[in-house]
Amino acid sequence: MSELDWQQSLAAVWRPNQGRLRPVKYIDQIALDDLLGIERQKQALIDNTRRYLSGDPCNNALLWGSRGTGKSSLIKAVFNHFSSEQLRLVEVYKDDLHYLHDIVDLIRDQPFHYLVYCDDLAFSAGDHSYSVLKTVLEGSIEAAPDNVRLYATSNRRHLVPQTLKENLDSKVVAGELHLSDAIEEKIALSDRFGLWLSFHPISQAQYLEIVDNLFADFKGDREELHRAALRFSAERASRSGRTAKQFHNAYATD
């Protein structure tokens, strides 16, 4: 039985040293309207979450792609959008995934729908802790609970790196590609996420649109603001929603 009062606590993080879920008092209040340039991904995750809350078929979701493009922000914004509809959020860090069975046991009998959120999910070569994740998602003797879905972000599409040797071990038989056993095992993890949403670097126009949204009340020279925003992104060799937010944090205090 969970120690939390889930009527009062909308979100929690796993604390392995304490062996418990700690309630989150101050939740990032990012809203869906704050996220620009990812309308397709936004609508897909909204639709999947709405089906989940309605008891209709839905999927675990993997949001993958370039850094700073809104993957984590979208999960938090979707949660905020639906938190009044019996949706709860549990954040688990990648290094604590071996506790995932215990965490699921704490929430599977609760009268709420849970999103288990794991940010920057990736596994290094030789790290086999992803096997725990595979069984929780689909492959255990115990059926996956209906009130738990995993929403994860990653910079890698298949979560686990593939080596050159593994690709060389793949072969074509009778005109069909047969992947090596090692690659098959690694792809089997990402395949358990039924919803894949890709995030790619944004255009200059999209970047400036985000800047304009952040500086909606700006009364100065808008063209100069754009030039400063472009210089800021060039210095970091990054053009993303995160970069625009960092520019706002720096420029707004000048």
**Which candidate, 202, 17, 8, 172, places its Cα nearest to that of 95?**
17
Are 29 and 122 in contact, with CB atoms under 8 Å apart? no
pLDDT at 184: 54
- Both tokens assigned to 220: 């100065």
pLDDT at 153: 94
**pTM, whole model, 2 decimals?**
0.81
For 53-74, what is each residue's pLDDT tens digit? 999 999 999 999 888 889 999 9
Can you tell me which residue has the tokens 């690709």? 167
pLDDT at 215: 94
State the Cα–Cα distance between residues 106 and 197, nearest whole angstrom.
29
pLDDT at 1: 39
State the Cα–Cα distance between residues 96 and 222, nearest whole angstrom.
46
Residues of the chain with pLDDT under 70: 1-3, 123-131, 139, 157-190, 253-254
Strands (E), 60-120: 61-65, 87-91, 113-118
